[in-house]
Structure 1
Amino acid sequence: MDGTTFLYTTYIRTTPERLWQALTEPALTDRYWGVSFESDWAKGSPLVWKQGGATMAHPEQVVLVGDPFRRLSYTWHTFTEEWARAVGIGEEVRTRIAAERRSAVAFDIEPEGEIVKLTVTHEFDAESILHGMCSQGWPPILSSLKTLLETGEPLPTT
Structure 2
Amino acid sequence: MTTETQVHRIWIKASPEKIWAAIVEPEFNQRYGYAAPGHYELRPGGSYRSTPNAGMIEYHKANDLPPLPEAIVDGEVLEVDPPRRLVQTWRLLMDPRTAAEPFTTVTWEITESKTQPGTCKLTVTHELAGAPVTADVTAGNLGESAGGGWAWILSDLKSLVETGKTFND
TMscore range, shorter length: 0.7 to 0.9
Does the alignment pair 1:115 with 2:119? yes
- Taking every aligned residue pair, what percent have the same amino acid on both sides? 31
How far is the alpha carbon of 1:127 from its aligned partner?
Answer: 5.9
Write out the 4+ residue segments of structure 1 that deviate beyond 6 Å after TM superposition: none
Q: AA paired with 2:49?
A: V
CA distance in 2 between partners of 1:78 and 1:140 (Å): 16
Q: How many residues align?
A: 141
TM-score by length of 2: 0.75
- Give the alignment of 1:56-135 within 5 angstroms: 56=71, 61-77=75-91, 79=93, 84=94, 94-112=95-113, 113-126=117-130, 128-135=132-139
- Relative to its length, the structure with more helix (as a share) is 1
Deviations 1:23-64 (A, max 9, x none): 011011000021212223111111232123552299x82111
Summarize the Cα distance change of 1:50–1:129 in structure 2 as closer, same or farther, 3 Å threshold.
Answer: same
SS in 1 for 2:6: strand
Give the match for residue 38 of structure 1.
Answer: 39
Check the 8 A contact 1:48/1:55 in 2, yes or no: no
Gapped regions of structure 1 (runs ≥ 5): 85-93
CA RMSD of aligned residues (A): 2.2
Amino acid at match of 2:88: Y
In structure 2, stretches of 5+ residues that fail to align are 58-68, 141-148
Aligned-partner residue type, residue 122 of structure 2 = L
